[in-house]
A and B are shown apart, each in its own frame.
Chain A
Amino acid sequence: MKILVCISHVPDTTSKINFTEGDTKFDTNGVQFVINPNDEFGLTRAMWFKEKQGASVDVVNVGGPETEPTLRKALAIGADAAIRVNTEAVDGATVAKQLAKVVTDGGYDLVIAGRESIDYNGGMVPGMLAAMTGANFVTNCISLEIDGTNAKAVREIDGGKETVSTSLPLVIGGQKGLVEESDLRIPNMRGIMMARKKPLTIVEPVDANVETKSTGFEKPAPKGAVKLVDAENIDELVNLLHNEAKVI
């Protein structure tokens, strides 16, 4: 089985978000970038398939040279080879178009992407990629088993979960649950040394129309001070929620 894990390169969750150039560009100053958490779960599950069922695992990112340390980290965790499509990730559709080419050229059976990137929360790329390549698609995936070309997946839905059967070729949007938090792999010294020797191939992008474009950003208005209610006077809280906030 040939597995491709899509890796989105995102600001660390503790990052403060600021903008520059008249609020038109994300300010990367002082921001640390990491593998998108949803993709970490997917990558660890891919390693499980490799070790238990026999599979090759490649990772891919659509982005500039600045994303290479993130791809190297994925290699250090255990992926066999990395691909970087050398273009800026402008929107979900352009990224999906680039990935579709990689998937078709590489003949991958299973594509593991994340449910969403935690920076932009688009939740677009995996579904678009599946539609573009004609693969089956399951998102919010919290469990995945593969048997030959048959697949069984569990998807989180509003208020519960659902079990589905499907088949390869398949794209999933994965998340926590695919593996447990405690099973996530972190690179060790040996992995980091080996990653230096693994191939990281740079491919040039295909033409893609830009369908959506963010022209400006703003931060939420600063919040007013909290109204403190005395722990001995809970009637006051009920009163405020009813008469002032009007939420009960």
Chain B
Amino acid sequence: MSVIVYTESEKGKFKKVAFEVVSYAKAIADKMGTSVTAIAVNAENPESLGNYGASKVLAVNDDSLNVFNAKKYASAIEQATKQENANVVVLSSSADSKYLAPILAVGLEAGYVSNVVEVPSNTAPFTVKRTAFTNKAFAHTEINTEVKLIGLSNNSFGLVESGGSASVETFTPNIPDSGVTVESVDKATDKVSIADAEVVVSGGRGLKGPENWALIEDLAEVLNAATACSKPVSDLGWRPHSEHVGQTGKPVASNLYIAIGISGAIQHLAGINSSKVKVVINTDPEAPFFKAADYGIVGDAFEVVPVLTEKLKAFKAQNA
């Protein structure tokens, strides 16, 4: 019996979510009186996961896994889970983890719950809390299978350093043919993605047109933030679809979400509500976003945002 966790890396470096899922797995393992095994694929310094609570790392080194492939990765994790006799499997909510999770669930005959936000409240019956109805509610869900698969909602648990150390073992799974071949990847390497960002700066129709987006981009740059937008902004072609956030777009669970010229329609709020701190800048004091935000400025984005960007630059220079 143990808890196994899949830790994602990019070009050999662990992603922040890798440390978060290990921290979370450690909390479950403590509750169950067991230990955490991590599986890492082509990652440098696998032993560093010990600091977040892994006691063992299964290190996979295989060039055929350099490009992510859901079926191949699911198979590797399935084999590791079986070898370790693990009964709880933890994944993140990244696009890749959400892609492989259902395949893994079928392979392991595991009950799968995604978007989990807390450590299980109970281990018999095994009960987790997840978001439901696009963040408009939470559900308490029991998993009744022997092996349980949990997808942790990003940024819901945080990083917990426990200062432990991990032993590293080489793990060599059999990699199946997958039927899906990646031909090309088109990814901005100099930009923070919405999924990984601690801060997201988002613009709505209040910005009037795509030519004004420097306002959003400059602010995002100072904060090392990802840029996002409301649905009409992407439907109008002002910004790419990949920036559309909300109930029918990408979910946002950042530490700070700054909404500029966004009214705060229910569908928008549903997708961004799990962000910890929300700031709204809007000319209309009656805009519904003010009811959902922590901080707000009633004002014109074209006047307020450049000043905010300057002030933050100065703040950063001072605190550097």
- Which of A92, A156, A218 touches B95 (beta carbons < 8 Å)? A156
- Which of A126, A131, A217 touches B132 (beta carbons < 8 Å)? A217
CB distance from A130 to the nearest CB of B (A): 7
A241 at the interface (CB under 8 A from B): yes
Residues 153-181 of chain B, each 1 if its beta carbon lies under 8 Å from chain A, else 0: 00000000000000000000000001111
Q: Which of B128-174 contact A (CB under 8 A)?
A: 131-145
B311 at the interface (CB under 8 A from A): yes
Name the CB-closest residue of B to A160: B187
A13 touches B294 (CB 8 A): no
B1 at the interface (CB under 8 A from A): no
B145 touches A247 (CB 8 A): no
The number of chain A residues touching the other chain, given as a range, is: 35 or more
- Which of A128, A164, A238 touches B182 (beta carbons < 8 Å)? A164
B112 touches A237 (CB 8 A): no
B111 touches A235 (CB 8 A): no
Name the CB-closest residue of A to B69: A164
Residues 212-248 of chain A, each 1 if its beta carbon lies under 8 Å from chain B, else 0: 1111111110011011111100110110111001011
Residues 102-139 of chain A, each 1 if its beta carbon lies under 8 Å from chain B, else 0: 00000000000000001111111111101110001111
A63 at the interface (CB under 8 A from B): no
Using known A-B contacts A13-B267, A165-B181, A213-B141, determine if residue A160 contacts B315 with beta carbons closer than 8 Å.
no
- Contact partners of B192 in chain A: CB under 8 A: 159
CB distance from B274 to the nearest CB of A (A): 9
Q: How many residues of B contact A (CB 8 A)?
A: 93
What's the Cα separation between A181 and B184 when bound, in Å? 26
A210 at the interface (CB under 8 A from B): yes
Name the CB-closest residue of A to B307: A234
- Which of A37, A123, A241 touches B277 (beta carbons < 8 Å)? A241
- Contact partners of A17 in chain B: CB under 8 A: 133, 136-137
B111 touches A93 (CB 8 A): yes
Q: Which of B100, B134, B290 has the most CB of A within 10 A?
A: B134
CB distance from B20 to the nearest CB of A (A): 15
- Contact partners of B293 in chain A: CB under 8 A: 226
- Contact partners of A248 in chain B: CB under 8 A: 199, 223, 256, 312, 315
B248 touches A118 (CB 8 A): yes
- Contact partners of B134 in chain A: CB under 8 A: 118-119, 121
A207 at the interface (CB under 8 A from B): no
A237 touches B295 (CB 8 A): yes
B141 touches A215 (CB 8 A): yes
What's the Cα separation between A62 and B251 when bound, in Å? 26
Using known A-B contacts A121-B115, A124-B101, A234-B308, determine if residue A164 contacts B183 with beta carbons closer than 8 Å.
yes
What's the Cα separation between A152 and B137 when bound, in Å? 37
B308 touches A159 (CB 8 A): no
- Contact partners of A136 in chain B: CB under 8 A: 178-180
What's the Cα separation between A164 and B68 when bound, in Å? 11
What's the Cα separation between A67 and B194 when bound, in Å? 35
B205 at the interface (CB under 8 A from A): no
CB distance from B291 to the nearest CB of A (A): 7
Segment touching A, from B23-31, B38-46, B298-306: B298-306
A5 at the interface (CB under 8 A from B): no
B60 at the interface (CB under 8 A from A): no
A162 at the interface (CB under 8 A from B): yes
B95 touches A215 (CB 8 A): no
- Which of B144, B183, B255 touches A211 (beta carbons < 8 Å)? B144
- Contact partners of B48 in chain A: CB under 8 A: none
A165 touches B106 (CB 8 A): no
B183 touches A212 (CB 8 A): no
A159 touches B193 (CB 8 A): yes
- Contact partners of B72 in chain A: CB under 8 A: none
Residues 70-114 of chain A, each 1 if its beta carbon lies under 8 Å from chain B, else 0: 000000000000000000000111001000000000000000000
Using known A-B contacts A137-B71, A216-B139, A217-B139, determine if residue A241 contacts B303 with beta carbons closer than 8 Å.
no
A247 touches B256 (CB 8 A): yes
A196 at the interface (CB under 8 A from B): no
A127 touches B102 (CB 8 A): yes
A159 touches B102 (CB 8 A): no
A139 touches B98 (CB 8 A): yes
What's the Cα separation between A214 and B125 when bound, in Å? 12
- Contact partners of B198 in chain A: CB under 8 A: 247
B136 touches A219 (CB 8 A): yes
B277 touches A128 (CB 8 A): no
| Residues of A that sit less than 8 Å from B by CB | 11, 13-14, 16-17, 19, 26, 37-38, 91-93, 96, 118-128, 130-132, 136-140, 142, 152, 156-167, 176-177, 181-182, 209-220, 223-224, 226-231, 234-235, 237-238, 240-242, 245, 247-248
**What are 30 residue pairs bridging A and B, where the CB atoms are less than 8 Å apart in the complex?**
A13-B248, A13-B266, A13-B270, A92-B112, A96-B102, A118-B134, A121-B251, A124-B105, A130-B102, A131-B102, A136-B178, A137-B180, A158-B195, A160-B185, A160-B242, A165-B180, A176-B241, A211-B110, A211-B112, A216-B139, A217-B139, A217-B140, A218-B138, A219-B138, A223-B292, A231-B304, A234-B304, A237-B311, A245-B295, A247-B277
